[in-house]
A and B are shown apart, each in its own frame.
Chain A
Amino acid sequence: MSYLRLRRLWKPSPLKRRYEVVIIGGGIHGLATAYYLARHHGIRDVAVLESQYIGFGGSGRNTAIVRANQRTVENVRLYEEGLKLWRVLTDELDYNLMFFNCGVLGLGHSEASVSAFRMLCNTHNFLGVKSELLDPQQCAEMIPGLDISDRLAFPVQAGLYHPPGGVVRHDAVVWGLAKGASAHGVHIHQGCEVQGIDTEGGRVTGVRTTLGPIGCKRLGIMAGGYGGAVAAMLGMELPIHPLTIQAMVTHPLKPFLHHVFSSGAYHVYANQTLKGEIATGAHMDPQVNYTNDATAYYLKHQAEALTELIPALRGVRFMRIWAGLADMTPDMAPIMEGNLGYDGLFLDAGWGYFGFKSGPVAGKYMAEYMATDERPAMLRAFQLKRFLENRYSGETAAAMKYGHWD
């Protein structure tokens, strides 16, 4: 029975001194790009360089929620395609990514958020992405124990339910993509930290790493929260702030929460993992930061928010908190660029906290971009120059105060 024969998911490979394509970052964006370069475009001479171990960064630290209920057309289309890829990839990679299609429910707690929900709902449905506006009673039916009374400081006024969303096992995506990329000949090098980028005559020529120099024709910066720091090696300023975002899980419970839910007013989103833990994510700290330090503040904040929304959660305990980085742009939409400043330099960054759900689809289009040198139509809305033209994507509505950290 082949099922019982255990094989390495990705092959250890010798470190070559030269690759056609080098990708910085062994998270899902980098691995997906490598996978699609090899699978769709026949470019197999690819190395993925990861300073720690694959999935160390945001790929392994998010709350694994996937959805397409964005605010603007360009974003809805991108994430909608992303949603459809989970199933395709599960089959292609022959690796169970455990897409739990449980639907995502957003809670609105003010007249303003109800109006915003209506706008989202209308946009989604117009574009053929399912979305439904619920009243508080319907929300309570979906989320057992949800308090919809006026006892709350911000009572629930409406819900926006998005059936196509759900949760994917984040580590499985990393490992599955590594498996797929490796099977197509991609080299994955863990513990290989990039310390500098070499250019010559306006072209990228390679990187300097803790394992020595590696030459390349094309370089992809797909380093998640560290993207800004990598670009800084070239002296490249970007409208990106790395901020810490935290998540935590409770002790495992038998299933009772059957949907992802989120609440902007309470800065909380939560779902019950397949293992039974309530995984919940918090708001972000505003200051730039490259650590993965968690704070006592959010453990407490999250407990306050969750127990107000679902009082029964007073009966559970938090067993683990962790933090990851979100590379925030002013308009909460990503930057996907090619030949940026240098020929052969590709940038996939600024995903904020949308980096997980977008991983495979971003990889697919970045691979196309890197292979053809032509910007795919899907990526037109995510150019860097929009910040210099004051044409924000509209993915978030609020005007910024001092900068994109607030």
Chain B
Amino acid sequence: MTFRLTCPVCGKRDVYEFTFGGQERGPRPGQEGLSAEDHFRWTQYRLIPYAPGEEWWYHAQGCGLWFKTTRDPATNREVEE
């Protein structure tokens, strides 16, 4: 699964230059009235089907940008939206 990711600043680079930031799960929920269970679900629970999903990646060895990309866990390739 040596694949590449397209950094919006640096272009296509080897995946090992990046830090994985997990699936897109939307912005941090507001904390007023947030239940413990909702918070811990948001923090840890994910639905990971065999289908492309949005993910966060950080170009740790390069420009230092967090960006979103859509990738298919069944092929490990980025998918054009």
Residues in A lying within 8 Å of B, measured CB to CB? 228-229, 232-233, 235-242, 244, 285-291, 293-297, 323, 330, 387-390, 402-406
Contact = CB atoms under 8 A, between A and B. Distances in A.
Contacts of B71: 287
19 contacts: A229-B50, A236-B47, A237-B45, A237-B46, A239-B44, A240-B46, A241-B46, A285-B1, A287-B20, A287-B73, A288-B48, A289-B76, A291-B1, A291-B76, A293-B76, A297-B2, A387-B40, A388-B36, A403-B44
A289 B40 contact: no
Given A293-B76, A296-B2, A232 B47 contact: yes
Given A242-B48, A287-B15, A287-B55, A295 B22 contact: no
Given A239-B45, A241-B46, A290 B1 contact: no
A403 B43 CA distance: 8
B21 interface: yes
Interface in B35-75: 36-37, 40-41, 43-50, 55, 71, 73-75
A196 to B, nearest CB: 12
A390 B1 contact: no
B1 A289 contact: yes
Interface string B9-24: 0000001100111110
A239 B25 CA distance: 13
Contacts of A286: 19-20
Query: What 4 pairs across the A-B complex have the smallest Cβ distances?
Result: A237-B45, A293-B1, A239-B44, A232-B49
Q: How large is the interface on B (under 10, 10 to 19, 20 to 34, 35 or more residues)?
A: 20 to 34
Contact of B16 (A235, A290, A297, A390): A297
A304 to B, nearest CB: 14
A241 B20 CA distance: 12
B41 A295 contact: no
Nearest to B2: A295
Given A237-B45, A390-B36, 15 more contacts: A228-B48, A229-B50, A237-B46, A237-B47, A239-B45, A239-B46, A285-B1, A287-B15, A290-B50, A291-B73, A291-B75, A293-B1, A294-B1, A296-B2, A389-B40
Contact of B48 (A232, A285, A387, A406): A232
Contacts of B2: 293, 295-297
A297 to B, nearest CB: 6
Nearest to B48: A228
Given A296-B2, A297-B2, A402-B21, A238 B55 contact: no
Contacts of A228: 46, 48
Contacts of B21: 402
Nearest to B56: A402
Given A235-B47, A238-B46, A288 B23 contact: yes
Given A288-B73, A323-B1, A387-B40, A229 B49 contact: yes
Nearest to A293: B1
A228 B40 CA distance: 18
Nearest to A232: B49
Given A237-B41, A288-B73, A297-B16, A229 B1 contact: no
